[in-house]
Structure 1
Amino acid sequence: MNHLRALVEATGPSGSEEDVVQRVVKAARPYADSLDVDAFGNVIAVRRAEGDKARRCIISAHMDEVGFRVYKIGADGFLRLEKVGGFDDRILLAQRVWIRTESGERLLGVIGCKSAHLLADGDRSSVVPYASLYVDIGARSQQEVLDMGVAVGDPVGFVGSLSELGRGTGRYTAHALDDRAGCAVLLTLLERFHETPPPVTLVVVFSVQEEVGLRGVEALARHLQGDVALALDMTAADDTPEFGDSHLRLGAGPTVKVMDFSTQAHPAIRRGLLAAAHKQNLPVQREVLKGIGTDAGALQYLGQGVATGAVSVTNRYTHSPVEVLDSRDLEGAVSLLEGFLHDLPDLDLRFVALNDEA
């Protein structure tokens, strides 16, 4: 959990992932044969197989988080926000946020709300739209805000650190688990192949701007070469009291993607992941969730098209400051991917085995 703890402490809404990039590069460099940061900000770490003709597997997890940018600095010293990524306006009131200035300093602010003593009847049953929200950083005037170094366009993210729920539960909460948890898994996977080369050449991508349309990986897909591509992301658990029968549960293992709105997983990849799980007696869940998308949606267009799938880790309260995951699902994702990579040299990647006599 050390990687995850360090990563969630950084503020990095889409397009402003610099602090996360620095932490990822520092953590990945000792375990990569080559490492590059492209013009978009994507980090590409390569761990080569021994043989030159080995297959290449690309696995991507995104570094960015949902957040905001400063849209306007009022004469009264309050900041107005523009959304970056999608989330529910209901969760925003009374949240603590970081404003990251051009100098890299982080300033604490709070999203203001009416005091309980001043609420009208209509206030109690309505949702304040984000365009009406404001951030209080303690300034008395616009000039005080400017003197602090805040400017229009500065990134704004939720405040939070990784903390265990209860005691000994193995379940942790933080903002930006989506998808810093995936990045932590990939860093751990690189570490697993530190002493011994992987059975295939492993191209690990820590991508940017996933939350605003898979933009980082879409740029990479135009020139990356690979035989297999996987996304590693979070997915929405529905095992809380608001729902009936759950489809995806915390602690029930990582998920093997079947479909979402961005990807129909390649049948060979599904078979390979499920076989790797079976071989290890590793519990996994099958994910069918139309309301989500991952980097796999862009990776599938590599070259003339490549066998693509995804592994997900279930996450409660997604796109909020209090996302929750189970550490056993993270450990399961590492084991699943490692097993899949060991099986990949001999995996039949054809979409369907054709009968030559037909």
Structure 2
Amino acid sequence: MPENHNHPGAEAGHGDSPALAHLRHLVRLTGPSGSEEDVIRAVHHAAAALADHTEVDAFGNVIAIRRAASEGARRVIVAAHMDEVGFRVRQITPTGFLRLEKVGGTDDRILPAQRVWVRTQQGRLMGVIGTKSAHLLTDTDRQRIVPAPELYVDIGARNADEAIGMGVHLGDPVGFVGVLTELGQNTGRYTAHAVDDRAGCAVMLALLERYQDSPPPVTVIFAFTVQEEVGLRGAQAVASAYKADVALALDMTAADDTPELGTCHLQLGAGPAVKVMDFSTMAHPAVRRGLIAAADAGGIAVQHELLRGIGTDAGALQYGSQGIPTGAVSVANRYTHSPVEVVDERDLSGALELLDHFIQRLPDLDLRFVALSDT
């Protein structure tokens, strides 16, 4: 059943860029890995009016194809994932509380006292992850991180029958609450949950809009994937089903420009990052060269990402066919996998420009891993 999104703060902001407008809508939805139905509906609805062909595959991936004018043009897959980290209802206790099973990499330190949506077949229920009242804490409590299996969600039910009467069933998805909100005043920096990677989906929809009236020089297969947070599973299905000359993932990456880190390898507002390596992939040198050349040609500031603690759909896409030259464009994101992720609109705009410039130059890009001598 489609969710009711008519709650305060969900309205589009005045003067939103196309990507930000899409992001504002997408972060309102609850879609942990394996439960992306509402996000799939929203993305499919937006993409269907812009693409030559749109489908939802058996896995749940939304595929939107914008064909080049030339029949024999190159093909590129651009992928961003729709799912978010979250939970499933593991148990309904006799007293009406809900125990959770984690879905994806959430941090136990930040979970108590968070608001969450419990998505039932009838709609969403507001709940809170309970935490012991400050007046009741012992010295041991103050030094202890409560492990996820001990956490519970309070939906106001007095007993299990009341919770079940509200429509709760075992396995129902649970996700953080949030709407896209600008930090400070006129900063261009926005916070919400599920920015990872609804922001990537939003940029891809904005890119599709650019090609609405005139086709791109290559056929672009826009893959809005599922289950990235639990093992790049949706992207594996895409890599098996669609042949392409090049593949790109568009995802968030962890900014390290806050006071407790201060290393500033990846900073908000310094431009999108061209991936060099992570634990899931080593960027293909030809694709990386092409992205850097596109950035230079477009006057787009970029960063360079080397981060072993992260993976993206690129890690699955590279195994398509006999191997696809694959790279990734990343956008720095603070406080990843939390309800208060923060992204800079300038980085989203830069990612949009970088992808467009790369696609425009792709027909002539040398995709060889290395140029070999004839002698």
TM-score bin, normalised by smaller chain: over 0.9
Q: Aligned partner of 1:193: which letter?
A: Y
2:184 equivalent in structure 1: 166
Tell me, what secondary structure is at the counterpart of 1:230? strand
1:244 Cα deviation after fit: 3.2
Q: Give the Å deviation of 1:87.
A: 1.6
Amino acid at match of 1:69: R
Q: CA deviation at 1:26?
A: 1.0
1:335 aligns with 2:353: yes
* Counterpart pick for 1:78 among 85, 97, 104: 97
- The answer on 1:40 being equivalent to 2:59 is yes
Report the counterpart of residue 272 of structure 1 in structure 2.
290
The 5-angstrom pairing of residues 113-262 of structure 1 reads: 113-262=131-280
Which letter maps to 1:264?
M
Spell out, residue by residue over 1:244-298, the C-alpha distance to the aligned partner (whole angstroms, 9 max, x if none): 3210000000000000000000000000000000111110000000000000000
Number of residue pairs the alignment of both structures matches: 356
How does the TM-score come out when normalised to structure 1? 0.99
| Distance in 1, Cα, partners of 2:38 & 2:206 | 20
Q: Deviations over 1:295-352 (max 9, x none)?
A: 0000001100010000000000000000000000000000000000000000000000
Structure 2 gaps of 5+ residues are: 1-19
1:283 aligns with 2:283: no
Alignment gaps of 5+ in structure 1: none
- Letter of the structure 1 residue corresponding to residue 27 of structure 2: V
Aligned with 2:49: secondary structure? helix
Moved more, 230-239 or 23-32: 23-32
Deviations 1:26-50 (A, max 9, x none): 1111110000000111000000001
Q: Deviations over 1:113-138 (max 9, x none)?
A: 01111111111111000100010000
Q: What CA distance in whole angstroms lies between the structure 2 residues aligned with 1:77 and 1:245? A: 45
Deviation at 1:211, TM superposition (A): 0.2
1:344 aligns with 2:368: no
- 8 Å CA contact 2:223, 2:238 repeated in 1: no
Any idea what SS the aligned residue of 1:329 has? helix
- The answer to whether residue 68 in structure 2 is matched with residue 49 in structure 1 is yes
Give the aligned residue type for 2:113: A
- Where does 1:59-74 land on structure 2 (aligned, <5 Å)? 59-74=78-93
Q: Identical aligned pairs, as a percentage? A: 69
SS of alignment partner, residue 241 of structure 2:
coil
1:84-121 residue CA offsets vs partner (Å, 9 max, x unmatched): 00121000010000000023x00000000011111111
Q: Which residue of 2 aligns with 1:12?
A: 31
For residues 220 and 270 of structure 1, what CA distance do their matches in structure 2 show? 21
User: In structure 1, what residue type is equivalent to 2:51?
Assistant: A
Letter in 2 for 1:42: N
Do structure 1's residue 102 and structure 2's residue 121 form an aligned pair? Answer: yes
Kept after mapping to 1: 8 A contact 2:116/2:128:
yes
Q: Distance in 2 between matches of 1:258 and 1:143?
A: 53
- Aligned match for 1:296, one of 299, 314, 317: 314
CA offset digits 1:216-240 (Å, max 9, x no partner): 1112211210000000000000000
TM-score of the aligned structures, taking structure 2 as reference length:
0.94
User: How far 1:243 sits from its partner (Å)?
Assistant: 1.1
